[in-house]
A and B are shown apart, each in its own frame.
Chain A
Amino acid sequence: MPATEFQGSFGRSLLTLRRDQTDSNHHHHQPQNTMEAELDSFQRQVAEKFIDLNASAGDNNLLSLDWISKLLDSFLCCQEEFRAIIFNHRSQISAPPMDRILSDYFERSIKALDVCNAIRDGIEQIRQWQKLSDIVISALDSHRPVGEGQLRRAKKALIDLAIGMLDEKDHSSTTSLAHRNRSFGRAKDNHSHHRSFGHFRSLSWSVSRSWSASKQLQALANNLNTPKPNDVAASNGLAVPVYTMTSVLLFVMWVLVAAIPCQDRGLQVNFSVPRHYQWAVPVMSLHDKIVEESKRRDRKNCCGLLKEIDRIEKSSKVMNELVDSIQFPLSEEKESEVKQRVVELVEVHEGLKKGLDPFERKVREVFHRIVRSRTESLDSLC
């Protein structure tokens, strides 16, 4: 879960930060130029990251596990830079308007923590789907002849997978679906805990029952206005990186909620950045692309926009149809079709298998970083 591999570069304490600063080249001793250059460099860095993300958001890469991981990496980088800026000018942050501006940022960042935790449950759900895919793959192992038992086993797993991937809103209908498909096994329904993820979903418990991802996002975005010129002047420009960081934070959380299944997903958030910010264009472009994707996919009631989810859905649907169409004895044609579909499923499955654990660690790292930045500021106030 935690990214111990990050501790080295990102887990520096403030003292090492201080020491590095004096060693570093591009901190000159003229205060005015330094600050302006510093703030500018931050804006540029954020812009570069998002231009890069936009560029790599080619057709099938947007909202893939890989791409989102990259987004999280970008967040961590920006956050580190932001932290350095705040540290460098810590003499200003306890005075108005920065005290108010910064405390507002921290409040929002704390809301992001609950999103990270809710996402964890979504990742857990995806893991369950993976296990079901595992069953399908091992049942229809392409190296061995497929018997009726194996087929039934695959079918059972596919049904559970289909149920599990239904959007939360349809949960009420899933229980009946599950019962109907339990043609074998005991008729004593009061004991049958079907492996459907309605049941498993009720075990997701990282956030309270009443928590809502969409409400949380709205709270995060609430009153997020571009900094007033007065504030910018009074804070020597520091209000701008705070606004930038807040926007990045909001965007990242929004993407996570869009991609990963979570409680009461909703993407209706007012998110717009004035174009004069260097990073505004690439961020808004990504935003628009994702909104489009959500309109397209949500028509089918998908539970998360993650590309891999789409792939699982598609390939398992195809597999399901194929399995339904099989009659024994298996024709050679059918057999080779099964083999092919299994290979496809394995492909989708492997990618997810490799990527999910590191992804979860990364989300956890984001969580830790936000906490750390908050506690650092608390500790420095004393």
Chain B
Amino acid sequence: MEKPVDHATESSETIPHKSNDLENTNHPDESEHQSQNNNPTETATTPESESSQLSLPQVMEAVDDFIQSLSSSTDPLQEIPPAVEPFPETVDSLVSKMESSGLGRDESEDSAFIDAVNRISISVIRLRELNLDSTPVSSWLNRASSVQHRAVSLLDEEFRHLLDRSNKKKNGDEHNNHDESDNNNPPQEEKTFPDIPPESIPTLKKIAGAMISAGYETECCMSYETSRRHAFKEELSEIGFEGINVDDVQRIPWESLQGEIASWISIVRRCSSVLFPGELSLCRTVFPEQDHASLRKGLFTGLVSAVTIRFLDFSGAVVLTKRSSEKLFKFLDMYETLRELIPAVEESDSDLIQEIKLSQTRLGEAAVTIFGELENSIKTDIGRTPVPSGAVHPLTRYTMNYLKYACEYKDTLNQVFQHYEKAETDETEPEPERHQREDDEEYKTSAFARQMIRVMELLDANLEVKSGLYRDPSLRSIFLMNNGRYILQKIKGSIEIRDLMGQAWTRKRSTELRQYHKSYQRETWGKVLQCMNQEGLQVNGKISKTALKERFKIFNNMFDEIHKTQSTWIVNDEQMQSELRVSIAALVIPAYRSFFGRYKQHIDSGRHTDKYVKYQPEDIESVIDDLFDGNPASMGRKRT
């Protein structure tokens, strides 16, 4: 039927004429195809669209009045007003027209159509509420409901069409751009999600509203959900997320699994920041009514749950793999990624949030275990071979580097340990007494700090034992200095660790270092200094040449021995090395200079002086500079 087309488009713009519209001349007989009409002037009019005498807006107005009358009238309805009578067929024609042209092309056309559908829906709904015993009314109702269904079905298809077509269209464009652009540019940066063209949105909104008013809420939601799930699925597979089996994950070697995890992290992040908020926004836009709040929540929950649960399946699978220390930081990354996801799904059911938290807990437990592995590896490091030259022990390096890296996750680890501590101590148990340190605020509050300190204490104890493997007490001190210094420097070098461990702890370590230093000096240089002591050199007021010679000899031997031995020792930290040398020099050189200056002349018999006086005061310094180099000293060469 051609004429209704023109009729409909005209009606929205002009005030329609009645019988004297000569532009739409047509065969009068066709007017009989139109609905039953009691108006005898029908045959006089030309186009069958106007056989009803009324334009669409006029009919709709009449329908509005009719609907009004239904609620106000108490008498059972006996017949349908003549103006309203042809309405179903009018709408039917509209449906046919919209079928071929589709919605989303002309906004005013769409509006007119939807208005008509809304009216027929309301009429049907209202009439069905009444007790009808009138046949004309029942028959009208039947026709109307039939047309209503046809109309709403069309709306449904159009709804899906608009939701889907948009994605495909965008993808089509995207592919074209792809070939031209640099392959390194990730396409998703340019895409928005959901990528439904903005011009479709008002139509989608109207259709949704019309479907729900018509009582077709279920169909509307199903179409929406199907389309959105499809869109998500495509989006996810485009960014590389595939279904993965828990079983298979167990067999993937860690190197490859790391890559999967990195991929997972970036995808989940994208959901948190772009996809889920976009979805929520679309939901709110298409279903904006206050009344539809629970509908929105249901749709949003359904969509994000379906996607999120897959993410949680993967993290659950990963957490089932064997624990090993290298996995700690990736697990923490995953934990943090899930934490960021929670705000994005806040608008959904709480069940989902619980699920996410549960997955986090599993990851957290694994992290605790792995971190605990560190303690074990310290405890079991009980080799009997001391590190040559008293250098920093590999265990110290490993532990400190691990802790330093761990501190970058300080807050997350704290969360994890807090949760773990809470779970382990039942609420019914009283708070256990904690070994508190006075001025360390962070220690008091941070569960992770407590863990760190435990590890440090274990390390200290272990190093103490290791130091005992050295027979030479001086080397023992050097060893403790080296390791203590390394630890202290690592701590000072990172604000996080420093704050975590606290001032008092750091101060204590510095004090200990000084004590080791003093020990070393005492053990190595005590006797050396002693032999330069004035006491015992004078016999009966005169300097004993023999004693003096003996003294010089002893000094030389000691000094040589120290030179030989301690040159091979290592002090790793350059600054400490220099400090040591300086302090030794400060100790020994003035003493020797004074000794040398005072007593050299007494054995300056011209012959064999160098047998006794091996070292000039200047030489002392160069020997000291050899110390702690880790190289065997070149002996027997005196520099002048």
Interface residues of A (CB under 8 A from B): 1-2, 4, 13, 15-16, 19, 107, 110-111, 113-114, 117, 120, 124, 128, 131, 134-135, 138, 144-145, 147-150, 152-153, 156, 184-186, 191-193, 195, 199-200, 203, 205-209, 211, 216, 219, 328-329, 361, 364, 367-368, 371-372, 374-375, 378-379, 381-382
- Residue in contact with B247 in the complex, picked from A111, A152, A364, CB distance below 8 Å: A111
Q: A378-B322, A378-B366 are in contact. List 18 more A-B contacts (CB 8 A).
A: A16-B426, A111-B247, A117-B246, A134-B218, A145-B141, A152-B149, A152-B150, A192-B157, A193-B160, A193-B227, A195-B222, A200-B226, A203-B230, A208-B245, A219-B247, A371-B319, A375-B362, A382-B373
Cβ contact within 8 Å between A382 and B313: no
Interface of chain B, main secondary structure = helix
Quick check: is B3 within 8 A (CB to CB) of the other chain? no
CA distance A375 to B331 in the complex (A): 14
Cβ contact within 8 Å between B243 and A207: yes
Cβ contact within 8 Å between A149 and B245: no
Cβ of A350 to closest chain B Cβ, rounded Å: 16
The segment from B183-191, B286-294, B349-357, B559-567 found at the interface with A is B349-357
- Smallest CB-CB separation from B215: which chain A residue? A138
Cβ contact within 8 Å between A149 and B423: no
Cβ contact within 8 Å between A4 and B354: yes
Quick check: is B399 within 8 A (CB to CB) of the other chain? no
CA distance A128 to B147 in the complex (A): 26
Cβ of A186 to closest chain B Cβ, rounded Å: 6
Number of chain B residues close to chain A: CB under 8 A: 72
Cβ contact within 8 Å between A114 and B376: no
Quick check: is B148 within 8 A (CB to CB) of the other chain? yes
What A residues does B426 contact at CB under 8 A? 15-16, 19
What A residues does B99 contact at CB under 8 A? 185-186
- Smallest CB-CB separation from B317: which chain A residue? A113
Cβ contact within 8 Å between A211 and B316: no
- Residue in contact with A114 in the complex, picked from B141, B146, B218, B247, CB distance below 8 Å: B247
Cβ contact within 8 Å between A206 and B310: yes
Interface of chain A, main secondary structure = helix
Cβ contact within 8 Å between A185 and B153: yes
Given A191-B161, A371-B362, does the pair A206, B243 have CB atoms closer than 8 Å? yes
Cβ contact within 8 Å between A378 and B141: no
Quick check: is B506 within 8 A (CB to CB) of the other chain? no
Quick check: is B309 within 8 A (CB to CB) of the other chain? yes
CA distance A206 to B368 in the complex (A): 29
- Smallest CB-CB separation from A128: which chain B residue? B222
Given A147-B128, A156-B153, A208-B245, does the pair A1, B305 have CB atoms closer than 8 Å? yes
Quick check: is B233 within 8 A (CB to CB) of the other chain? yes
Cβ contact within 8 Å between A207 and B124: no
Residue of B139, B160, B222, B309 ringed by the most chain A CB atoms within 10 A = B222
Sampled A-B contacts (20; CB under 8 Å): A2-B351, A110-B250, A113-B246, A117-B313, A138-B218, A145-B141, A153-B149, A156-B153, A184-B153, A193-B160, A193-B164, A195-B219, A205-B306, A206-B313, A208-B248, A364-B355, A368-B358, A371-B316, A375-B319, A375-B366
Given A2-B354, A145-B128, does the pair A205, B366 have CB atoms closer than 8 Å? no
What A residues does B246 contact at CB under 8 A? 110, 113-114, 117
Cβ contact within 8 Å between B129 and A144: yes
What B residues does A329 contact at CB under 8 A? 138-139, 142
Tell me the number of A-to-B contacts counted with CB atoms below 8 Å. 163
What A residues does B322 contact at CB under 8 A? 378
Quick check: is B12 within 8 A (CB to CB) of the other chain? no
Cβ of A128 to closest chain B Cβ, rounded Å: 7
- Smallest CB-CB separation from B140: which chain A residue? A147
Quick check: is B372 within 8 A (CB to CB) of the other chain? yes
Cβ contact within 8 Å between A205 and B142: no
- Residue in contact with A203 in the complex, picked from B143, B215, B226, CB distance below 8 Å: B226
What A residues does B243 contact at CB under 8 A? 205-209, 211
- Residue in contact with A382 in the complex, picked from B138, B242, B352, B376, CB distance below 8 Å: B376
- Smallest CB-CB separation from B244: which chain A residue? A208
- Smallest CB-CB separation from A193: which chain B residue? B160
CA distance A121 to B354 in the complex (A): 20
What B residues does A117 contact at CB under 8 A? 246, 313
- Residue in contact with A379 in the complex, picked from B148, B352, B369, CB distance below 8 Å: B369
CA distance A184 to B148 in the complex (A): 13
Cβ contact within 8 Å between A374 and B320: yes
Quick check: is B154 within 8 A (CB to CB) of the other chain? yes
Quick check: is B1 within 8 A (CB to CB) of the other chain? no
Interface string of B460-481 (1 = CB under 8 A from A): 0000000000000000000000
- Smallest CB-CB separation from A382: which chain B residue? B369
Interface string of B219-257 (1 = CB under 8 A from A): 101110011011001000000001111111010000000
CA distance A207 to B245 in the complex (A): 6
Cβ of B579 to closest chain A Cβ, rounded Å: 41
What B residues does A185 contact at CB under 8 A? 99, 153-154, 157
- Smallest CB-CB separation from B154: which chain A residue? A185
CA distance A329 to B137 in the complex (A): 12
CA distance A367 to B317 in the complex (A): 11
- Residue in contact with B320 in the complex, picked from A138, A207, A371, CB distance below 8 Å: A371
Quick check: is B144 within 8 A (CB to CB) of the other chain? yes
- Residue in contact with A211 in the complex, picked from B124, B154, B216, B245, CB distance below 8 Å: B245
CA distance A184 to B155 in the complex (A): 12
CA distance A375 to B354 in the complex (A): 19
Cβ of A193 to closest chain B Cβ, rounded Å: 5
Given A205-B310, A378-B320, does the pair A131, B157 have CB atoms closer than 8 Å? no
Cβ of A67 to closest chain B Cβ, rounded Å: 24
What B residues does A107 contact at CB under 8 A? 250
CA distance A191 to B164 in the complex (A): 8
Cβ contact within 8 Å between A379 and B128: no
- Smallest CB-CB separation from B148: which chain A residue? A149
Cβ of A227 to closest chain B Cβ, rounded Å: 24
What B residues does A361 contact at CB under 8 A? 351
What A residues does B250 contact at CB under 8 A? 107, 110
What B residues does A374 contact at CB under 8 A? 320
CA distance A382 to B379 in the complex (A): 13
Cβ of A362 to closest chain B Cβ, rounded Å: 13
Given A185-B154, A375-B366, does the pair A206, B149 have CB atoms closer than 8 Å? no
What A residues does B229 contact at CB under 8 A? 203
Cβ contact within 8 Å between B142 and A147: yes
Given A113-B247, A206-B309, does the pair A191, B124 have CB atoms closer than 8 Å? no
CA distance A34 to B166 in the complex (A): 69
CA distance A113 to B221 in the complex (A): 31
- Smallest CB-CB separation from A211: which chain B residue? B245
What B residues does A15 contact at CB under 8 A? 424, 426
Quick check: is B323 within 8 A (CB to CB) of the other chain? yes
What B residues does A219 contact at CB under 8 A? 247
Cβ contact within 8 Å between A379 and B366: yes
Cβ contact within 8 Å between B145 and A148: yes
Quick check: is B165 within 8 A (CB to CB) of the other chain? yes
Q: Which of B385-432 contact A (CB under 8 A)?
A: 423-424, 426
CA distance A156 to B152 in the complex (A): 12
What B residues does A184 contact at CB under 8 A? 150, 153
What A residues does B165 contact at CB under 8 A? 191
- CB-CB nearest 3 A-B residue pairs: A149-B145, A147-B145, A149-B149
Cβ contact within 8 Å between A208 and B242: yes
CA distance A4 to B215 in the complex (A): 35
Interface string of B359-372 (1 = CB under 8 A from A): 00010011011101
CA distance A211 to B244 in the complex (A): 9
Cβ of A76 to closest chain B Cβ, rounded Å: 16
Quick check: is B132 within 8 A (CB to CB) of the other chain? yes
- Smallest CB-CB separation from A153: which chain B residue? B149
- Smallest CB-CB separation from B157: which chain A residue? A185
Cβ contact within 8 Å between B233 and A203: yes
Interface string of B324-335 (1 = CB under 8 A from A): 000000000000
